[in-house]
Structure 1
Amino acid sequence: MWWPSLLKYYSQTDGVSWLEEYKARHNAGLEAQRIVASFSKRFFSEHVPCDGFSDIETLGCPSHFFEDELMCILNMEGRKGLTWKYYAKKILYFLRQQNILKNLKEYLQRPTDRQSFLEGAVLIDQYCNPLSDICLKSVEAQVNDITDKVRKVLRTKNPRHPSLASKAGEVLIPEVELQRQVLDAMNCVLYEQLKYKGNELDYYNSLNSYIHQVLIRRTGIPISLSVLYLTIARQLGVKLEPVNFPSHFLLRWCQGKEGSADIFDYTYIDAFGKGKQLTVKECEYLIGHHVTEEFYGVVTSKEVLQRMVGNLLNLGKRESTDQSYQLLRDSLDLYLAMYPDNVQHLMLQARLYFHLGIWPEKRQPKPPACDQGDSPLPRD
């Protein structure tokens, strides 16, 4: 029983009956052992059918106690209990994904101004890596460290800069020149000091899409680097907006009247290209063809997540390996959590389940009025 890992579920100010908590933990442990033992008797194929997890969906005990017992099984010494470990890992994978999916749905129901791009990226990361120790607070702390480094550079350039006095993200800076100083300092820290860069050599590696891996490896694809870039800028008082640009995700920075509909009132920022600032014409050179004005428009946080998930979905389709199939399953789950009635992706999920020998849950999708399922282009 790993009580230190459970302390985060308790408040220091609340009175806790530790005897009752111990009883609850003990009973949860017995329930977890019963379910793991039943899995080893009932399922012999690699993939557990969807209804195989029905007992877990109706747990009569606190899920964190149940999860703690699964961790105890996984941490058994050596080669002891390998079959139990195998199924405990599958159950833990499912249990954590269900909790993350609930968090994602709650996130999507919030007003758009309360949907942090960084939090959305973390939720996708967590869902695709449920056995990894990824939490929003840890990612935010790493981003805050980078922001502090930017402030130090900014202080040497302009000791009276308003970003140094204000708390993170509380005040937006109206003066374009002061905003430019922030972006210059960001580029200095991210690309010169910390050596962040776009991953040209291994572009189609799924690690490039996971924000915690972007922070560890200091490389990524346009959309993941853009989420990091705009988050830091916002903490320093500069508003950048994600742009619906095809093939290569960009940010835009307003040089004219706030909220202007004129695409020429904006400078476009390529976080993948070391923060390079582009004109409309240079954006077209980036992808090699002309695009209409609609592709310079702002996208919502949900649409950003759709493109991130679309990238992972495309990666899952590239190879016929167990790892690719798992990525395809996870990305389809995420896509359908956002667009549950998308017929194209429901059919793809059904084909995948049939291929893997999994009986899917019965679903009765409603045909949508219009198809939201155009797959984003892979190079994002």
Structure 2
Amino acid sequence: MAAAVVDSAMEVVPALVEEAAPEAAGLSCLVNLPGEVLEYILCSGSLTAADIGRVSSTCRRLRELCQGSGKVWKEQFRVRWPSLMKHYSPTDYVNWLEEYKVRQKAGLEARKIVASFSKRFFSEHVPCNGFSDIENLEGPEIFFEDELVCILNMEGRKALTWKYYAKKILYYLRQQKILNNLKAFLQQPDDYESYLEGAVYIDQYCNPLSDISLKDIQAQIDSIVELVCKTLRGINSRHPSLAFKAGESSMIMEIELQSQVLDAMNHVLYDQLKFKGNRMDYYNALNLYMHQVLIRRTGIPISMSLLYLTIARQLGVPLEPVNFPSHFLLRWCQGAEGTTLDIFDYIYIDAFGKGKQLTVKECEYLIGQHVTAALYGVVNVKKVLQRMVGNLLSLGKREGIDQSYQLLRDSLDLYLAMYPDQVQLLLLQARLYFHLGIWPEKAGDAPFGQQKALSALPDHV
């Protein structure tokens, strides 16, 4: 019966939309329907935003039903731009009509800018100052990004020039936002030890067009932690780690209990999930991106160590990162709390080598040389990120001259965000910009550090 009422009412809507007047045939029948049925009709997907606007102008009841904060305009927004809904909380008050207008305006602005890029720039690389118009845009940045993604997702081989420049603009917008987040992250106190968060920023910056978030990566790690807990339960059903709640930072002090956690971790990571160090394709940038490490289940010592460290700490084992030469390690304290410790009071863990536990002498055998005690010390987040970016920088220098040097450019940006006064890297960046033809037309347009590097360049560069 209800379905018949809805079907009957749906037949009235086209006439109502067409005439947009109270005298339209069937109007009284439509407005006398229950509110839930009217909402169902207006949210059915058969009406456009323009149709809803006309419907809302016919009478007070329909105008109230189509109010900006109601379900009707929310559904219009959701159908038109579904990817944006993840940015809204169910508890937020949103005027969906106004939100629709702002998003529509942002889309028009984005398309206008993309069209201007295709007219202004004909070289492969957009100049550094070519993005100045984007920085002055008004409105939520996510709306501009969403429109650029819509352009990139246009079917077939349509508007290839637009897609080319939309990709460049989207790349720029996201990298600027990520770089600002990274700089804010680096301002945290030294005791702020979110190694995973820093690694994700590096991952995001080098892959700005990929959908990478700390939340998603943490969720994947949490699923591994659950598997470890399941194995740990078989070893010790009363283990204190099993009582930890998500987000807790409790630590277990008993060495035997810590050892049980590490045994369970090694079983899950290396035997069950088949994680392993990537010896066959060691010099691949994918080995440094945390989302790729989780997908491919392989990496190099530093990325494997960060994964291992994150899981261990969530389960109460206080491992620490060691910036060991040629092979990043973790250390596990065996000494009594409160006593003076030296390098022999630790066991060193090789996450690249399936969690193998090493003595000081075995660490030296691992790299084939004797090292000083200082190199067994723990390092902070910034030093860990410096090493990750340094690895990317080395890989970027390996790129052939026929490529865009994108990895080198990205790693230089990241390194200089951490250490802005590194003159040698500023010089390298200046040379690279000149080589690619993307240096600002005026030296005054460049950041101060790059101006110093520019003035130091020899004439033949």
TM-score by length of 1: 0.93
**1:366 CA displacement:** 10
Alpha-carbon distance in structure 2 between the residues aligned to 1:278 and 1:90: 47
User: For 1:1-380, what aligned pairs fall within 5 Å after superposition?
Assistant: 2-168=80-246, 169-258=248-337, 260-321=340-401, 323=403, 325-360=405-440, 361-365=445-449
Alpha-carbon distance in structure 2 between the residues aligned to 1:252 and 1:10: 42
Alpha-carbon distance in structure 2 between the residues aligned to 1:205 and 1:337: 23
Alpha-carbon distance in structure 2 between the residues aligned to 1:16 and 1:218: 41
- Inter-CA distance 164–274: structure 2 relative to 1 (3 Å threshold): same
Alpha-carbon distance in structure 1 between the residues aligned to 2:104 and 2:449: 41
Query: Is the contact made by 1:2 and 1:68 (CA closer than 8 Å) also made in structure 2?
Result: no
One-letter amino acid of the counterpart of residue 237, structure 2: P
| Aligned residue-pair number | 368
**1:258 CA displacement:** 4.0
Alpha-carbon distance in structure 1 between the residues aligned to 2:389 and 2:185: 16
- Inter-CA distance 90–367: structure 2 relative to 1 (3 Å threshold): closer
Query: Is the contact made by 2:426 and 2:450 (CA closer than 8 Å) also made in structure 1?
Result: no
Alpha-carbon distance in structure 2 between the residues aligned to 1:315 and 1:188: 32
Alpha-carbon distance in structure 2 between the residues aligned to 1:81 and 1:362: 32
One-letter amino acid of the counterpart of residue 283, structure 1: C
Alpha-carbon distance in structure 1 between the residues aligned to 2:208 and 2:308: 25
Query: Is the contact made by 2:430 and 2:450 (CA closer than 8 Å) also made in structure 1?
Result: no
Unaligned runs of 5+ in 1: 369-380
One-letter amino acid of the counterpart of residue 333, structure 2: C
**1:344 CA displacement:** 1.3
Superposed CA deviations along residues 101-151 of structure 1, whole A, max 9, x for unmatched, are: 111111111223434111111111110001111111110011001111000
**1:330 CA displacement:** 0.4
Alpha-carbon distance in structure 2 between the residues aligned to 1:213 and 1:78: 28
Secondary structure at the counterpart of residue 344 of structure 2: helix
CA RMSD of aligned residues (A): 1.7
**1:356 CA displacement:** 0.7
Query: Is the contact made by 2:335 and 2:341 (CA closer than 8 Å) also made in structure 1?
Result: no
Secondary structure at the counterpart of residue 253 of structure 1: strand
Query: Is the contact made by 1:108 and 1:115 (CA closer than 8 Å) also made in structure 2?
Result: no
**1:320 CA displacement:** 1.6
Superposed CA deviations along residues 13-71 of structure 1, whole A, max 9, x for unmatched, are: 22211121111111111110111011101111111111001111121121011111111
**1:365 CA displacement:** 2.9
Query: Is the contact made by 1:315 and 1:324 (CA closer than 8 Å) also made in structure 2?
Result: no
Query: Is the contact made by 1:107 and 1:115 (CA closer than 8 Å) also made in structure 2?
Result: no
Alpha-carbon distance in structure 2 between the residues aligned to 1:21 and 1:292: 61
One-letter amino acid of the counterpart of residue 154, structure 1: L
One-letter amino acid of the counterpart of residue 317, structure 2: V
Q: Which has the larger Rg?
A: 2
Greater relative contact order (Cα < 8 A, sep 6+): 1
Superposed CA deviations along residues 69-114 of structure 1, whole A, max 9, x for unmatched, are: 1111111111111100010001001111111111111111122343
**1:156 CA displacement:** 0.3
Secondary structure at the counterpart of residue 112 of structure 1: coil
One-letter amino acid of the counterpart of residue 140, structure 1: Q
Superposed CA deviations along residues 190-226 of structure 1, whole A, max 9, x for unmatched, are: 0111111100010001110100000011000000000
Superposed CA deviations along residues 214-250 of structure 1, whole A, max 9, x for unmatched, are: 0011000000000000000000000100012111000
Aligned to 2:3: none
- Inter-CA distance 357–343: structure 2 relative to 1 (3 Å threshold): same
Alpha-carbon distance in structure 2 between the residues aligned to 1:127 and 1:258: 40
Query: Is the contact made by 1:316 and 1:324 (CA closer than 8 Å) also made in structure 2?
Result: no
Secondary structure at the counterpart of residue 185 of structure 1: helix
Alpha-carbon distance in structure 2 between the residues aligned to 1:322 and 1:271: 36
Unaligned runs of 5+ in 2: 1-78, 453-461
TM-score by length of 2: 0.77
Aligned to 1:376: none
Alpha-carbon distance in structure 1 between the residues aligned to 2:148 and 2:424: 36
Query: Is the contact made by 2:335 and 2:345 (CA closer than 8 Å) also made in structure 1?
Result: yes
- Inter-CA distance 364–170: structure 2 relative to 1 (3 Å threshold): closer
Alpha-carbon distance in structure 1 between the residues aligned to 2:125 and 2:193: 34
Query: Is the contact made by 1:341 and 1:367 (CA closer than 8 Å) also made in structure 2?
Result: no
Alpha-carbon distance in structure 2 between the residues aligned to 1:245 and 1:68: 43
Alpha-carbon distance in structure 2 between the residues aligned to 1:230 and 1:149: 16
